[in-house]
Each structure stands twice: as structure tokens, then as C-alpha cells.
Amino acid sequence: MTGLADGPTQAQLDRIAWRRRQTVRSILVAALSTAVVGALLVVAITGAPGWDRVRQSFLDPSIAADALPDVLRGLWLNIRLLVFCAIGSLGLGLVIALLRTLRGPVFFPVRALAVSYTYTFRGLPLIIVIYVLTLGVPGLRLQGMPSVLVLGGAALVLTYSGYIAEVFRAGIESVHPSQIAAARSLGLTYRQAMRHVVLPQAVRRVAPPLLNDTVALQKDVGLVSLAGPIDAVRAAQISTAEHFNYTPYIVAGVLFVLLAIPLIAVTDWVTVRAARRQAGR
């Protein structure tokens, strides 16, 4: 009791000081090893026989400055497309997941359609879906045909909702059936139990993989350039054709990485937070 009242003991202070020294030592060792590896990579790359040619073709500062405004304008299109496709994929994926979890023989056709949907769009390469919707569907010449950009976004939504549906379904099935039974015993309908009891827990549990899918979607929105819309990738392609230099592609790649960093950081934070919650900390 006296030791607790007087504060930490000398042994505890020594332990805290030792941990601080170990932390500082680990940071210094990590920084030194990173610097050594970085220096070796720089020497290996810049010392290669074809480095000068590669630098001129991919890292020309003047061409990068000239292409940057057009690539930035195209990136704004990618950002808007990402927002709408992410919302659409999450909504459609949740609906498909709910359809797959319906019970009873009367819902077998609905479950079969949902299973077929997820199997099909998880198996089809995204680029094929984009080509079919943006090049094949307009060939039908139907009235009210949406633009190629909308059709390309629809291809992204259809493909990613297949993956997201399985993520949602895993989260829903991870909730113990006794919770649904308890909710039903309190007078809630199945839909109310799913809405107020199951889905809130399921969404919290699958938040990290959902964010990972969003990061992947952020990269794949650049594939709509295959259908013609001038996004960041298409703008880089046009600038590359004008200058006969691949530096604009590097500019577009750097912008995509900068766009992804905040989302990746949020994903890592949510993942760590979920792991700590599951560990009971």
C-alpha cells in the first residue's frame, strides 16, 4: 500500500526507461536500415546501362509539368466516378447479400439468382464487362441509351457488387443465430431484426474488407478510359502521344497513389481498431 501511495518503484522506473531506450534504438536501426536499402536501390538503378534513356522517357520534368493540368482535370472525373460507383456497389452488394441469406424453399429462385450473379461477376474479368457494356450495349440502339461514361460506371458497379455481396454475406452469417431468435422473441419481425440487430454488427465486422474493396475500386475506375472518356489515364495517353514520351503515365500514377493514401490510412486504422475491439482491449 505504501509503494502504491508513494508512486512507481525504482524497478518500475528502470523498466520504463529501458523500454524508452529500446524504442529509440529500434527507430534508429529502422531508419538506418531503410537509408542503406534506399541508397543501394538508387545506386543499382542509376548505375544501370540504360538509365539515361529510361529517365528521358519516363521522368522528364518539363513534360510532366506540361501534362499535369490535363491529367488533374481527368483525375477529377475519376474521383466523381469513384464516389458514385462506391455508393452503387455497396448498395447493390448489400441487396444481393440479403437475397442470398433468405430462408425457406419459396425463396430458392431468388437465392439461385443471387448466387449466379456473384459467381458470374466475380469470375468475369472487369475489362470484358466494360467492353460489353460500353461497346456492345450501345449497338442495340435503344432509345434513352446512357452515355459511355455511365455504362462504364455500371460495369464497375456490377463487378464490384459481386465481391462486396460476399463480404456482406460473411458479415451477416458471422452474427450468431441466437441474436435473431432473441430479437424475434421480443416481438421484432425478421426484417426488423435484420435491420436493427444483425446488419449493424455485420457492417462493423466487415468494414476493413469493404474499405479494401474501395481502394481496389479507386484504381480500377481508370479502366473506363478504354471506352473513351477522358479521365486521368486517357489524358496521360493523349499527352504521351503528343510528346512521344511516357512521363504523363508516371504523373497519372503518382496522382492515383496520392489519392489512395488517405483511404489506405483509414483502412489500416479501422483494421487495427477492429482487431483491438475483437481482442477485448
pLDDT in tens, 225-236: 988 888 999 999
Output the pTM of the full model.
0.82
Average pLDDT, stretch 142-167? 93
pLDDT surpasses 60 at 281: no
In a domain, 152, yes or no: yes
In a domain, 187, yes or no: yes
pLDDT surpasses 90 at 161: yes
pLDDT surpasses 80 at 76: yes
Q: Which domain holds residue 118?
A: 59-279
In a domain, 131, yes or no: yes
In a domain, 127, yes or no: yes
Distance from C-alpha of 149 to C-alpha of 77, rounded to nearest angstrom: 10
In a domain, 52, yes or no: no
In a domain, 255, yes or no: yes
In a domain, 147, yes or no: yes
Q: Report pLDDT for 184.
A: 83
In a domain, 38, yes or no: no
Count up the domains in the chain and report the number: 1
What CATH number corresponds to the domain at position 77? 1.10.3720.10
pLDDT surpasses 50 at 153: yes
